[in-house]
Each structure stands twice: as structure tokens, then as C-alpha cells.
């Protein structure tokens, strides 16, 4: 058991980076629990909260940038894929494009906190031709805010489920 705990501490930054990148690219909903646990681990003093936030931010921004480029340069194929898969995902994607056009970077900031929409906002920004510099700056700011918020919740020790119960 001690060796398992040692693995978590010695590789915490790598695990956070890999999990957040996978979350952004393909496996939604796994990053938040890992960031909460990493924040809790930082509260014990075994890892640095700033490094956890930094690694999560870089991983999330890298994945988001990949999706932005897919939306910008591969939009016909992406739209074809969305039409073939249909359902709610296609509806959310069309809504994301509409919100990006209407609210721009404000939607990009808020979308990071909505699972499902977060993964669609970046390719939508690419499809509607948001400038790359504007996307990179606002996406970076939004990912720092997202990573810091989730990690600090874990650091504070407040159960995430208790927060959700109060909000909903």
C-alpha cells in the first residue's frame, strides 16, 4: 500500500497532465475528480498546488488548441462526423457555434465549467474563424481559471458533492 501511495505522490504531476489531456481530447468527466484529489494531495504538502494548476492548464490548453485547429482546418470532416452521429451532441455543437458568434470569448470562458460543452466550444471557435491570437489568450485565461478553481476546491477539503447539492 505504501508503494502505491508513493507512486501517486512521485508521479502526481504526470498523472494530472495525462488525465486532463485525455479528458479534453476524448474522455470527458475524468479530469475534475483527479484535480480535486490532486488539490487534496497538495493540501497535505506532498505536492505543489501551483504545479498542479500549471500542469492541468498546459494539458487542457494543448487539447483545446488541437480541437480549435480541427474546427478551423477540418470543419467539413468535423461537420460530416457530427451529422452522422447526430443526437444531442450535434445539437450542442450547433448551439456552441451560435453562442461563440453571439458572445465570443465570454462563452469560451464559461464553457470550461460545463462538461460536454467544454469539448465543443473550441472546435466551434475554429469553425466560426475566431482569430487564433484571441482564442489562445482567452482559452489560456479560462483554463488557468478552471484548473485553479477545481484544484483549490480539492485543496480546501470541501466535498465536491456538497457544493453540487447547494447549487442544484
Give pLDDT tens digits along the chain (168 positions).
334 344 456 788 999 999 999 988 877 768 888 898 899 889 888 899 999 999 999 999 999 999 899 888 886 666 666 666 656 666 777 777 788 888 877 888 888 887 767 778 888 888 888 899 999 999 999 999 999 999 999 898 766 556 556 554
Q: What is the pTM of this model?
A: 0.81
Q: Are 32 and 116 in contact (CB under 8 A)?
A: no
Taking the C-alpha atoms of residue 141 and residue 62, their distance in angstroms, rounded to an integer, is: 13
pLDDT of 164: 53
Q: Are 110 and 95 in contact (CB under 8 A)?
A: no
pLDDT of 1: 33
pLDDT of 54: 96
Cα distances from 95 to residues 116, 136, 147, in angstroms, run: 12, 21, 25
Taking the C-alpha atoms of residue 139 and residue 120, their distance in angstroms, rounded to an integer, is: 13
Amino acid at each position: 500500500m505504501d508503494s502505491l501511495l508513493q507512486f501517486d505522490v512521485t508521479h502526481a504531476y504526470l498523472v494530472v497532465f495525462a488525465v486532463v489531456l485525455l479528458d479534453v481530447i476524448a474522455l470527458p468527466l475524468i479530469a475534475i475528480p483527479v484535480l480535486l484529489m490532486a488539490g487534496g494531495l497538495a493540501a497535505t504538502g506532498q505536492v505543489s498546488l501551483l504545479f498542479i494548476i500549471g500542469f492541468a492548464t498546459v494539458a487542457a490548453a494543448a487539447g483545446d488548441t488541437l480541437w480549435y485547429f480541427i474546427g478551423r482546418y477540418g470543419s467539413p470532416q468535423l461537420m460530416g462526423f457530427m451529422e452522422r452521429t447526430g443526437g444531442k451532441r450535434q445539437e450542442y455543437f450547433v448551439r456552441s457555434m451560435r453562442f461563440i458568434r453571439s458572445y465570443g470569448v465570454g462563452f469560451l470562458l464559461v464553457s470550461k465549467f460545463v462538461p460536454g460543452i467544454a469539448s465543443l466550444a473550441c472546435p466551434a471557435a475554429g469553425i466560426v474563424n475566431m482569430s487564433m491570437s484571441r482564442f489562445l489568450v482567452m482559452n489560456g485565461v479560462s483554463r488557468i481559471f478552471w484548473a485553479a478553481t477545481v484544484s483549490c476546491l480539492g485543496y480546501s477539503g470541501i466535498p465536491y458533492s456538497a457544493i453540487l447539492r447547494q447549487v442544484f
